[in-house]
Structure 1
Amino acid sequence: MRPSRQGDESWTVASAKAKLSEVIERAQSAPQTITRNGKPSVVVVSAEEWQRKTARKGTLVEFLMESPLRGADLDLERQRDEPRDPDL
């Protein structure tokens, strides 16, 4: 059984089950989409690709320090309003 007609990167659930080893092998070089009822359901990627996509790219402090809003003189003073009445 070959991948679905959407291309070599797309498989139906049935074809992915039947050819799981091939899905895994192909996922080493390109993401493999598994469809359910004709719609994309999941994507199989290599462990290396997953690590690359989910790796933290710095700390929150670094992100904030590199923000284009840094030094924009934003008014960040907290309002001291009374709490809302939850019964309203």
Structure 2
Amino acid sequence: MEWQLQDAKNQFSKVVQKARTEGPQVVTLRGERTAVVLSIEDYDALKADRPSFVDDLLAGPAWDDALAEAIGERPAWRHRDGAL
């Protein structure tokens, strides 16, 4: 079901209840779909088995030996005060 923003604000408890019993509730602003109210079950289902941002970064491509060596050989950057 779609709700205009003003109606969703005025009847928020009803929007939440319908999200729990009928599924996602779409909120519109000036006729544009802008937000969705989900039950916690629907939200958890969307997040299930998805890696976190950190997990996704850590699962990136492996470094080959040449890249690791090149990074290890880079000169250290000096701060403006001359410290490493």
TM-score, structure 2 normalization: 0.57
1:41 paired with 2:68, answer: no
TM-align CA RMSD: 3.0
**What does residue 32 of structure 1 align with?**
25
**Percent of aligned pairs sharing the same letter:** 29
Q: Which amino acid aligns with 1:21?
A: S
Matched, 1:14 2:19: no
Equivalent residues in 2 for 1:1-88, closer than 5 Å:
9-28=1-20, 29-56=22-49
| Separation (CA, whole Å) in 1 of partners of 2:28 and 2:13 | 17
Partners in 2 of 1:35 and 1:11 — Cα distance?
6
Query: 1:41: Cα distance to partner?
Result: 0.2
Higher RCO (CA-CA < 8 Å; seq separation 6+): 2
Structure 1, unmatched stretches of 5+, are 1-8, 61-88
Taking structure 1 as the reference length, the TM-score comes to 0.54
Cα distance in structure 1, aligned partners of 2:29 and 2:15: 15
Q: After superposition, what is the alpha-carbon deviation per residue over 1:36-61, rounded to whole angstroms, capped at 9, x for unaligned?
A: 01000001110011001111168x9x
Higher normalized helix content (fraction of residues): 2
- What secondary structure does 1:41 align onto? strand
Question: Runs of 4+ in structure 1 displaced over 3 angstroms?
Answer: none
Partner secondary structure for residue 56 of structure 1: coil
